[in-house]
Structure 1
């Protein structure tokens, strides 16, 4: 399941985000979205978790978590 993580403080490193999600199960990928010009975080990321149950637990467990002073928003990503 692909998960969208929003409202990230722009200094949160991808490795820290990966460790948060690993607490809930297997993570296939973790991609912090960066600005092409500046190389800095845009404040959101996509996490892929192959096990649906683990992904749902991660969404429920991490949504509204305060990380670096920001309440992050975590939900299933919508397919385009």
Structure 2
């Protein structure tokens, strides 16, 4: 299941985002979206978790959680 992670703090790294989701299972892919000009985070990214149950658990556990002083939003990517 591919998840969209929004409202990330600008200082949150891709490694930190991956570790957050790995607490709930295997992460197949993790991508933090960066601004092409500045290289800075745009505040959102995508996480792919191959196991559906693990992805659902991570989604419900992390949606609304405060990370780096920012409440993240996690939903299924369309």
C-alpha distance in structure 2 between counterparts of 1:10 and 1:69, whole Å: 10
Number of residue pairs matched by the alignment: 78
RMSD: 0.4
C-alpha distance in structure 1 between counterparts of 2:18 and 2:43, whole Å: 15
Structure 1, unpaired ranges of 5+ = none
Greater than 3 Å deviation, 4+ residue runs: none
| Residue in structure 1 matched with residue 74 of structure 2 by the alignment | 74
| Residue in structure 2 matched with residue 43 of structure 1 by the alignment | 43
In the TM superposition, residue 54 of structure 1 has moved relative to its aligned partner by 0.4
TM-score, with structure 2 as normaliser: 0.98
Structure 2, unpaired ranges of 5+ = none
In the TM superposition, residue 47 of structure 1 has moved relative to its aligned partner by 0.2
